[in-house]
Amino acid sequence: MTVLKPLAALLLVAGLAACSTDVDENSTGVDPNASGYGAGQLDPSSVEYFNQSIGDRVFFATDSSLLDAAAQATLRAQADWLRQNPARTASIEGHADERGTREYNLALGARRAAAARSFLIGEGIDASRLRMVTYGKERPDALCSNESCWSQNRRSVTVIAGGPIS
């Protein structure tokens, strides 16, 4: 895996360079933007890239499972990534803030995970690639007890699994 991936990336860059009509003769031959292998760059097919560059989570208003414009934009980008990485599967985790009972928040977390999952399916991702789990309020991400943290905990997180056999 760690050997094959850079090789594949280099081949891809070489191919691009060969097709280019405007090749810089002084180039090292490795374009960090194209390869994702320059300093601080991530392989676009990696889980790290998905989590950090696309964004693995969307946020909800109190007691709501409606996807606002920002959430829909993130989920569209997630769907694009999932289309480009067809071997990947995902678990959609629904969460709630601590301002509700455990049992209601389990149902609310399921509702949020289902909203994100339905959106991804609507964007063309096969339902069989998308599992769903609720954690209710049991797995907060931000730990303070005010709205600045609660707004981060009312979330659905797309956790990527699977991938090419390594």
Partner 1 sequence: MAVSFAALVAAGAALAPAPGAAQEPLRIEITEGVIEPMPIAIPAFAADGGSSTYAQEIRQVVVDDLAGSGLFRVIDQSAYLAGAGSVDARPDFENWRVINAEALGVSEAALTEDGRLQVRFQLWDVFGAKPLGDGLGLRAAPGDARRIGHKIADAIHLALTGEPGYFDSRVAFVAESGPKNARQKRIAVMDQDGANLRYITDGGALVLSPQFSPAGDSLVYISWGTGAPKVVYQDLRGGGSEVLGSFPSMSFSPKFSPDGGSVLMSLTDGANTDIYSMSLSSRQISRLTSGPAIETSPDYSPDGSQIVFESDAGGNPQLYVMSASGGAPRRISFGEGAYGTPVWSPRGDLIAFTKQLGGRFHVGVMRTDGSNERLLTASFLDEGPTWSPNGRVLMFFRESPGANGAPQIWRVDANGRNLRRAPTPGAASDPSWSPLLP
Contacts with partner 1 by CB under 8 A lie at: 63, 65, 91, 98-104, 106-108, 110-111, 114-115, 118, 131-135, 138-141, 143-145
CB of 67 to partner 1, least distance (A): 12
- Say how far residue 101 (Cα) sits from the centre of its chain: 29
> Closest separation between CB of residue 14 and partner 1, Å?
42
- Find the helix packing angle between 69-84 and 102-122, rounded to 10°: 60
DSSP secondary structure code for residue 30 in this structure: -
80 vs 98, beta carbon nearer partner 1: 98
Residue among 118 and 151 whose Cβ is closer to partner 1? 118
Q: Which is nearer to partner 1, 14 or 144 (CB)?
A: 144
In this complex, which beta carbon is closest to partner 1, that of residue 23 or of residue 127? Answer: 127
2-to-7, 46, 57, 126, 166 alpha-carbon distances in Å = 9, 12, 27, 28, 9
Q: How far is the CB of 125 from partner 1 (least distance, A)?
A: 15
Q: Would you state the structure tokens that stand for residue 30, as one six-digit string?
A: 């490795």
**C-alpha span between 95 and 156 (Å, rounded):** 6
Query: In the bound complex, what is the minimum distance in angstroms from residue 51's beta carbon to partner 1?
Result: 17
